[in-house]
Structure 1
Amino acid sequence: MELEKEIQQSKFQNEYQKLLLNIIFTASWLNLRNTQRFKPYGISPQQYNILRILRGQHPKSATVTLLTERMLDKSSNASRLVEKLRVKQLLDRCECPEDRRAVNVRITDKGLALLQKLDQTGDDIRKDFTHISEEEAKLVNRILDGIRE
């Protein structure tokens, strides 16, 4: 649906303002969809992101600092998210032998199993983009990368 109809605004200062609002609106829409997608599994999109990072590090551990650097949502509190995932037994925390102030985090077998389940729901994610081709997705990716240059 067109942005104008979604936010009930027919005029914009210029195309760049409309682009900014469209990106913000679409990001919020996708975030809501992801929140709903992960809710049955008892995790948030930010927690899912941490688990994905840890799976990429597996079998090695990662520091909370590394998680913070690699997270998609830079405003998230990685320490708080790690603790919530620890309580759910999806990851383990241990002291770093080189620096006792640092905490190492490692995904558990239970965390890996949850990600495997979520990987199987990948078609749900694809459904959000059924109206665009792979070539269009590549173009949008190039444009979004260009915005951040």
Structure 2
Amino acid sequence: MKLQEILKSNVELPLAKRTSLNFVITNKIIAEGYLAFFKQFDISGQQYNVLRILRGQKGKPANLATIQERMIHKNSNTTRLIDKLILKGFVERTICPENRRKVEIIITKNGLDLLITIDPELNALEEKIMQPLTTTEAETLNTLLEKLRGSQSL
């Protein structure tokens, strides 16, 4: 859908504004798709991100700082996310035996099972999102987004 149709306007926008608005609106649409997707599993995208990070630890516990630095949403309240995942039985929190001030988090079997359920469906959603683009277009889009992201100091 063209930007003018979404904005219900025929005003010619400067290229920078048109590009930024296209990016923001597309991001919002994709984000809403992810939100609806994760809602069916009674988790948020940020909770999924924590589970994915913990799975990547391959059975080794992670501390809050490790999880926080690897989060996609850097402003997440990691402690609150962990608390919610504990209540759902997807992660466990323990005290580090070597340093009692250090808290360690590990994914449970239930958490791993949830990821096994989610992963193929999430892959299908992401394929559907990208379906309108050719492989070359998707590669170009990734290159351009990385270039744009690398030049920002907002």
One fold, TM greater than 0.5? Answer: yes
Within 1, Cα distance between the matches of 2:102 and 2:19? 41
Residue 13 of structure 1: how far off its partner (Å): 4.7
- Counterpart-to-counterpart distance in 2, 1:75 and 1:11: 36
Structure 2: runs of 5+ lacking an equivalent:
none
State the AA in 2 paired with 1:22. N
Q: What number of residue pairs does the alignment pair up? A: 149
Over the aligned positions, Cα root-mean-square deviation in angstroms equals 1.5
Counterpart in the other structure of 2:34: 34
Structure 1 residue 102 corresponds to structure 2 residue 102: yes
1:123 partner letter: A
Question: CA, structure 1 residues 129+101, in 2 after alignment: closer, same or farther (shift >3 Å)?
Answer: same
Q: Distance in 2 between matches of 1:89 and 1:123?
A: 26
Equivalent runs, 1:1-149 vs 2, <5 Å: 1-11=1-11, 13-121=13-121, 122-149=123-150
The superposition leaves residues 65-96 of structure 1 with CA deviations (integer Å, 9 ceiling, x where unpaired) of 11111111122211111110010000111112
Aligned 8 A contact 1:58 1:107 in 2? no
Task: Provide the rounded CA distance (Å) in 2 between the counterparts of 1:98 and 1:139.
Answer: 48
* 4+ long deviations beyond 6 Å: none
Gaps of 5+ in 1: none
**2 CA distance for matches of 1:65 and 1:46?**
15
Tell me which amino acid in the other structure corresponds to 1:17.
K
TM-score (normalizing by structure 1): 0.92
Question: 1:12 Cα deviation (Å)?
Answer: 5.7
Quote the sequence identity (%). 36
What is the TM-score with the length of structure 2 in the denominator? 0.89
In the superposition, relative to structure 1, how do residues 127 and 97 fare at CA in structure 2: closer, same or farther (>3 Å)? Answer: same
How many angstroms does 1:35 deviate by?
0.9
